[in-house]
Amino acid sequence: MNTEAYRQLDREHHLHPFTDFKALGEEGSRIVTHAKGVYIHDSEGHRILDAMAGLWCVNLGYGREELVEAATVQLRELPYYNNFFKSTHPPAVKLAEALCRLAPSHMNRVFFTGSGSEANDTVLRMVRRYWTLEGKPDKQWVIARENSYHGSTVAGMSLGGMAPMHAQGGPTVPKIAHVRQPYWFGEGRLGEGGDGEERRFGPEAFGRECAAALEAKIQELGEENVAAFIAEPLQGAGGAIIPPASYWPAVKEVLARYNVLLVMDEVICGFGRLGEWFGSVYYDLEPDLMSIAKGLSSGYLPIGGVLVGDRVAETLIERGGEFVHGFTYSGHPVCAAVALKNLELMQAEGIVERVREDIGPYLFERWTTLAEHPLVGEARSLGLVGALELVADKTHGKRFAKDLAVGNLCRDISFDLGLVMRSVGDTMIISPPLVITRAEIDELVRLAGAALDETARRLAAREQADESTLREESRS
Ligand SMILES: *Cc1c(COP(=O)(O)O)cnc(C)c1O
């Protein structure tokens, strides 16, 4: 089958996630056929540097034979058995132990799911159950943040703060509130709506203001009604938003004053992305629960889970009776075997230390040179996550008009030049495999620079075309 044949069948039968079905039908999909290391290959013979690690998940890169082998061996041994009805199997038990060894010392239990969304569904049920068992059934409210991403099931979407998802999702799950996000460039520096008006205070004051918004919300709802605060260590899908340094210490101070659980959604930051095993460790937080998925198996097979701290686990175990929740594929043996091998490889190869001490700082050094580009209002990175803010006016950090869709233009150009960068509005983001080399980072930054140049050239050409149309119109 050739590219057109695949595109035709895809158009006729396949509804893609987060996609305008009609527009994609007209344009046609890119058919990715194979991959190796940090490169994907498509059916047209293009080799493309995957600076998104798939969807923030292929941390060990493509084509790792050890992971293929682990899956193959387990498929032969026991392809499936469940963990219901007083049963389990070696891969689930071994993975549970390995995870709890890597997690902060107060986290000694894990509940397995098939994905990050299911992990956050589990979180919602666990925190509400916990407070009920503690004799505080009114503690039901969960506070999350605007523009956060916690998955796409109904509970995941409700916990997340993505306005377009709420608009389509129908009524969301009750008793979930959202507070402002610590997005300095978008909402601090640029002001609400990115109007380009410089604020009088700096990022650190802004970070404290966002933490104060959490405290105000707890007081508004009443501490006796609030179960938990859930957040990503740094927001991924929202635009690789790195909070100001003041933010997490200030949030910690707020939470210390109230009896509210802390849930960290580690689906992206977990497993080395920030140069620690968990983002919570990087930010020195002690969460009660952590959602995990994505990098847990380097994306080779779907698996997620919730790491449960002793405080919550003891109540659920000692007083809970049956917890009536679980999935057919909770702790699937093949997925668990691959995740376990993935963690072993990460340890044997010192991947987390490498991100912290070598390749993370190198990415920062190279990536932030892009800040000099006329289109870039800010270039930031932490560990192996990076973002570029595209702006119309560099001096004032003023955004482009939304309908120009400059971020999408830059993303498409980047793809054509051989680099996967993703766009979130006019924020370009990267999250490359953790095994990326220095030479590959050089190539990544060179291609990103070329994509910026070409985006600027096309915008200028568009502007010229618009001007000549205007001249023509005024002449006639
Ligand atoms: C991807 C993601 C999820 C959802 O995970 P799925 O496996 O797609 O369900 C949840 N939280 C965060 C932070 C994510 O990035």
Does ligand 1 come within 6 angstroms of the Cβ of 455? Answer: no
pLDDT given at position 170:
77
CB of residue 411 inside a 6 A radius of ligand 1 = no
Residue by residue, pLDDT tens for the chain (476 residues) are: 899 999 999 999 999 999 999 999 999 999 999 999 999 999 999 999 999 999 999 999 999 999 999 999 999 999 999 999 999 999 999 999 999 999 999 999 999 999 999 999 999 999 999 999 999 999 999 999 999 999 999 999 999 999 999 999 779 999 999 999 999 999 887 555 444 455 557 899 999 999 999 999 999 999 999 999 999 999 999 999 999 999 999 999 999 999 999 999 999 999 999 999 999 999 999 999 999 999 999 999 999 999 999 999 999 999 999 999 999 999 999 999 999 999 999 999 999 999 999 999 999 999 999 999 999 999 999 999 999 999 999 988 899 999 999 999 999 999 999 999 999 999 999 999 999 999 999 999 999 999 999 999 999 999 898 888 888 877 76
Q: Which two tokens stand for residue 115?
A: 């994905």
Report the alpha-carbon distance of residue 187 to residue 201 in Å, rounded.
12
Helix (DSSP H) and strand (DSSP E) numbers for the chain: 17, 15
Q: Is the CB of 116 under 6 A from ligand 1?
A: yes
pLDDT at 32: 98
- Cα–Cα distances in angstroms (integers) from residue 318 to residues 119, 130, 280, in the given order: 22, 11, 27
pLDDT at residue 469, as a whole number: 85
| Range 31-63+351-473: architecture per CATH | Alpha-Beta Complex (3.90)
In terms of Cα–Cα distance, which of 146, 132, 110 is closest to 159?
Answer: 146
161 CB under 6 A from ligand 1?
no
Q: How much is the pLDDT for 193?
A: 47
Residues contacting residue 283 through CB under 8 Å, at least 6 positions apart: 233, 248
Pairing of the two strands 289-292 and 261-265 = parallel
Q: Is 283 helix (H, G, I), strand (E, B) or coil?
A: coil
445, amino acid identity: V
Q: 239's torsion region: left (phi>0), alpha (psi -120 to 50) or beta? A: left
**Which residues face 142 on adjacent strands?**
176, 228
Distance CA 202, CA 306 (A): 36
Determine the CATH number of domain 65-348. 3.40.640.10
Cα 54 to Cα 293, 298, 415, 462: the distances in Å are 14, 9, 13, 32
Strands (E), 132-287: 141-145, 176-179, 226-231, 261-265
Atom of ligand 1 nearest to the CA of 293: 7
Q: Is there an atom of ligand 1 within 6 Å of 288 CB? A: no
pTM for the structure as a whole: 0.96
What pLDDT is recorded for position 63? 98
Instruction: Assign 40 to helix, strand or coil.
Output: strand
**Closest ligand 1 atom to Cα of 151:** 4
Question: How far, in Å, CA of 443 to CA of 363, rounded?
Answer: 11
* Closest residue by CA, ligand 1 atom 11: 150
Calpha distance 406→388 (Å, rounded): 12
Domain residue limits, the chain: 31-63+351-473, 65-348
- Atom number of ligand 1 nearest to Cα 152: 9
Nearest in space to 242 (alpha carbons), one of 284, 300, 181: 181
Atom index in ligand 1 nearest the CA of residue 153 equals: 9
- Measure 99 CA to ligand 1 centroid, in angstroms: 18
Q: Angle at which helices 310-319 and 116-133 pack, to 10 degrees?
A: 60
- Angle, vertex CA 67, rays to CA 65 and CA 112, nearest 5: 170
Whose alpha carbon is nearest atom 6 of ligand 1? Answer: 116
Whole-number Å distance, alpha carbon 117 to ligand 1 midpoint, is 6
CB of 414 closer than 6 angstroms to any ligand 1 atom: no
Is there a contact between 70 and 90 (Cβ–Cβ < 8 Å)?
Answer: no
Q: List, in sequence order, every beta strand (DSSP E) within 354-470.
A: 376-382, 385-390, 419-420, 422-424, 427-430
